[in-house]
A and B are shown apart, each in its own frame.
Chain A
């Protein structure tokens, strides 16, 4: 039940982030949408590692049930790649702002014509 709830929340976040990426004119909003999608992917990875009554995969005496450590390691990878993507997106936003004085893509498109 808890796993299903996490999966539903992750997919909902993914959709919200995707809507932000697809439907925004403001480049900062697109960056925020990207970040939300990354977070959703991490939540989904952690949800797929879950198993009932299990501890985080850090071995401790007296505990013999742990969740799958592999998706957690991949989540770290996803976080790092996400940080790199966010930095690149923000750098492009800064470039557009320097060139056009705005981060509104509709305005940028109007100027380009």
Chain B
């Protein structure tokens, strides 16, 4: 039997179209006749009290790292689990073969550019409570930086870049420090991952030193996400000794 059978491309289109046809009216209806943003209880509470509750002006970060910080801990665990599973699935059996580095031109250009590339993710992570961004986005940008260096130089260590061991340490430290920062709330007698209630200072909202524990959580997440993504990338691209 040929698989997929001859009609299956058509069947896939028909199924997808039926799915879209079922979903579209419901979403349009929810958008036009559903609860408007101004009347949503959670939205209006976040918009009204966000600044005084958290000290952060970026309310997305405020929701992510204060109101729903516990969710974010779970989310960080998902990344952790994914990195662990990818590592376990693609456990390197042979010794990894270093890929040939790109041309000297590319390497020279990278040498000049990499210091500048550092500025962007670090700014995104540190200003996560002020401007669009935060630990997740900045962590991804950091990971892209490391992947660029890997690609340009062939092997991770040739560029003086981070080795696998340092990556593991960064990942574990990121996860552990997020977890430990949450304990401050327990010690203060409020709750796990409490922010201002745990005695962190709100500072003056809109400046770098504000938002209580949020900037620290952002740095922890940034380390964690960057390390996890780079280690997953390295596991996926790692070339094996010939395995038929």
Asked if A67 is at the interface (CB within 8 A of a chain B CB), the reply is yes
Q: Is B24 within 8 A of A59, CB to CB?
A: no
Asked if A14 is at the interface (CB within 8 A of a chain B CB), the reply is yes
Q: Is A101 within 8 A of B244, CB to CB?
A: yes
Residues of A within 8 A of B131 (CB): 58
Asked if B116 is at the interface (CB within 8 A of a chain A CB), the reply is no
Q: Is B31 within 8 A of A48, CB to CB?
A: yes
Q: Is B43 within 8 A of A70, CB to CB?
A: yes
Residues of A within 8 A of B31 (CB): 3-4, 7, 47-48
Asked if B109 is at the interface (CB within 8 A of a chain A CB), the reply is no
Interface residues of A in 38-64 (CB under 8 A from B): 44, 47-51, 54, 56-60
Using known A-B contacts A18-B15, A23-B9, A69-B63, determine if residue A98 contacts B240 with beta carbons closer than 8 Å. Answer: yes
Residues 75-96 of chain B: 1 if any A CB is under 8 Å from the residue's CB, otherwise 0?
1001101110110011000000
Q: Is B236 within 8 A of A91, CB to CB?
A: yes
Q: Is A18 within 8 A of B4, CB to CB?
A: no
Residues of B within 8 A of A60 (CB): 57
Q: Which of the residues B11, B40, B90 comes within 8 Å of A68, measured between beta carbons?
A: B40
**Cα A48 to Cα B225 with chains together (Å):** 27
Chain B interface residue count: which class? 35 or more
Q: Is B20 within 8 A of A11, CB to CB?
A: yes
Q: Is A23 within 8 A of B13, CB to CB?
A: yes
Asked if B180 is at the interface (CB within 8 A of a chain A CB), the reply is no
Q: Name the prevailing secondary structure of the A interface residues.
A: helix
Asked if A94 is at the interface (CB within 8 A of a chain B CB), the reply is yes
Q: Which residues on A are within 8 Å of B, measured CB to CB?
A: 3-4, 7-8, 10-12, 14-16, 18-19, 22-23, 25, 44, 47-51, 54, 56-60, 66-70, 72-73, 76-77, 79-81, 83-85, 87-88, 90-92, 94-95, 98-99, 101, 105-106, 109
Q: Which residues on B are within 8 Å of A, measured CB to CB?
A: 2-4, 8-9, 11-13, 15-17, 19-20, 23-24, 27-28, 30-32, 36-38, 40, 42-43, 46-47, 50-51, 57-60, 62-64, 68, 71-72, 75, 78-79, 81-83, 85-86, 89-90, 130-132, 134, 136, 140, 205-206, 225, 229, 232, 235-236, 240, 243-244
11 extra interface residue pairs, beta carbon distance < 8 Å, beyond A14-B23, A80-B75: A22-B11, A50-B37, A59-B206, A60-B57, A72-B63, A77-B72, A84-B82, A85-B82, A87-B82, A91-B85, A109-B3
